Every structure is written in structure tokens, then in C-alpha cells.
Amino acid sequence: MASVLCVGIATLDYVYAVPELPSQGTKYRATDLEVVGGGIAANAAVAVARLGGKASLLTRLGDDVTGQAIRAGLAADAVDLALSRAIGGCRSPVSAIMVDQAGERMIISYSDPAMPTEPDWLPQALSAETGAVLGDTRWEEGSLRLFRKARAAGIPAVLDGDRKPSDPGLLAAATHVAFSEVGLAEQTGLSDPRDALLSLGSGKAWLAVTAGERGVWMIDKGEVSHSPAFAVDVVDTLGAGDVWHGAFALALAEHQSERQAVRFASAAAAIKCTRFGGRKGAPTRTEVEQFLRERT
């Protein structure tokens, strides 16, 4: 069983169903509420576990009931939290997410600025079984530290570039960077995915951008190629990007090629989009393999 260590944010999401997204300084009534675990790295870890990998999460929580709810949700999905910590006096990350009837989303997220940035409780070496590290931009010091250990161990270090990292060193440390469209545009100032990837040139990392239903562009040794998305009826995109990155890192940990890994990740994310409830819709291995057989 391949093992992926995910490092970054875990949140508790309060998902409010609203007739339309709020836009004014007034009162709105929600028609439904779901309180579910979320967060980029945490969602990716859940995806890894569902897909049959061993998922470990390194995240910083507060010592509050929110943190307890986050832990309980992750434990129920078989995510190993041995490396995560509850920080005394800090509040756990929490988000308000408003979803309208068309599935459009507004996310307001809070992370405690008093949360210590140094992962000084981290063991000196990765466990021998770790097959890949996946990091997000919500805890750059943590991702950077783990990416360096991954490189030293000769395993993939995958960055989820959902936005431009503050520390340029993070891009340099990763072996694989998969941006969101927003993240790549922030990083390069260019809106065309192909131009943007080319402008980042031939660094040391394999680079890609995930563009939802428009598929994935990737660049390797100066060559840009494209992998189309699977056409599905989209119900809920919340967490789909996180599922993509978790599946991609797991495939690399299993020694799949990048091209195979992109296809595997795109299938996992496509299935997730057909189901409501954020990461609750992350698919199992069997579901992805059957989907890929049907679509080939």
C-alpha cells in the first residue's frame, strides 16, 4: 500500500445553502447547513485513503471543540493524525461557505495568525514507507520543510499551487507543482495556461495547471501537452481540486508516470464533482478503476 504524507490545512466548514449568494450588508436566511471537515491538505488526505493509499496528515489545529470535530472526521476516514498537533491557546481553522442553487460558492476562511509556523515537532526523517509528500500553500513553512525531506529521500514532493506561494523557495523545493488557474495566473501574470507554463521555463519541477472541465495542461522538459477532462454532470465542485491533488500524489507514490497520474487524478476529481457534500464525494479505488475502464 503506497503512503502519502499530506502537509497543510484542515478546517471545519460551515456550508450554508442559500437561494442566492449574499452581496449586501443585510440579513440572509440559509435553507440548509452542513458542518463538514474541509481544507486543502485534509481533503487530499481523505482522497488518498479512499483510493486505497495510506494517508498521513501533518496539520496544526487549535485546542478547541472545532479541532476535535476536525480530528473526528479525519479519523473516520482512516487518516493518520499522529504527526498533527493541537496548539494550546490557538483556534482551529474554520470557514463559512455559502452555496447557491446553481452550485456557485463563496468561501470566507479564517486561520489563527497566532498559530506557530515552525513545525519543530516534526521527526528528523520521513518514515521509510512514505512514497510521496503533498503540500499546500496554507502552511508554507511546513510544506517547505517536508519537500526538502522528500527530495533528500528521492520521493515526489507535490505542491498544490491553488494560489501563488509567498515564499518562492516553495516552487524550487517541489518536484511537481500543479497550479489552479488562479494560482498560475498570480504566479506568472499570464492568463493563457500554455503561455504561463512556458514562461516558468524549464525549472527543476514538473509543472501543470488544472483547469476544471477544460482539462489539464502540463510541461515537462520544455514541452507543453494537454489532457482533456472527463465530461460529467457537475453537482458540486467543492473539494474537487483537493481530491485531484491527493489522487495525483498517490499515483506518483505508486510509481505511475505523470501522464498516468494526471489521468487517474482527473477521473477521481470528475467522480467527486458528480456528488454533493465536498470531500464526502471522494471516490474509492474501485470506482475510479471502473470509471477509467468505461471511459477508455
Q: Which residues bind a copy of itself (CB under 8 A)?
A: 14, 16, 18, 21-30, 32-33, 35, 65, 69, 91, 94, 96, 98, 100, 104-112
Measured from the CB atom, the residue of 25 and 222 that comes closer to a copy of itself is: 25
The rounded distance, in Å, linking the Cα atoms of 217 and 224 is 7
The rounded distance, in Å, linking the Cα atoms of 66 and 90 is 11
CB of 95 to a copy of itself, least distance (A): 9
Q: Which residues of 130-161 are buried (b: 16+ CB within 10 A; e: fewer)?
A: bbbbbbbbbbbebbbbbbebbbebebbbbbbb
CB of 52 to a copy of itself, least distance (A): 30
CB of 34 to a copy of itself, least distance (A): 10
Measured from the CB atom, the residue of 16 and 206 that comes closer to a copy of itself is: 16
Q: Which residues of 171-193 are buried (b: 16+ CB within 10 A; e: fewer)?
A: bebbbbbbbbbebbbebbeeeeb
Measured from the CB atom, the residue of 29 and 293 that comes closer to a copy of itself is: 29
CB of 47 to a copy of itself, least distance (A): 20
CA 229 to chain centroid, in Å, comes to 18
What is the crossing angle of helices 240-253 and 258-273, to 10°?
A: 150
Measured from the CB atom, the residue of 21 and 153 that comes closer to a copy of itself is: 21
Measured from the CB atom, the residue of 109 and 256 that comes closer to a copy of itself is: 109
CB of 103 to a copy of itself, least distance (A): 9
Measured from the CB atom, the residue of 109 and 225 that comes closer to a copy of itself is: 109
Asked whether the beta carbons of 67 and 90 are under 8 A apart, the reply is: no
Indicate the residue type of 267: A
User: CB within 8 A of 294, min separation 6: which ones?
Assistant: none
CB of 256 to a copy of itself, least distance (A): 30
User: CB within 8 A of 262, min separation 6: which ones?
Assistant: 208, 216, 218, 227, 248
Measured from the CB atom, the residue of 18 and 224 that comes closer to a copy of itself is: 18
CB of 237 to a copy of itself, least distance (A): 11
CB of 137 to a copy of itself, least distance (A): 12
Which of 263, 265, 3, 8 is closest to 155 using CA atoms? 3
Asked whether the beta carbons of 141 and 119 are under 8 A apart, the reply is: yes
Element (H, E) at 104: none
Measured from the CB atom, the residue of 21 and 78 that comes closer to a copy of itself is: 21
Other Cβ atoms closer than 10 A to 25: 5
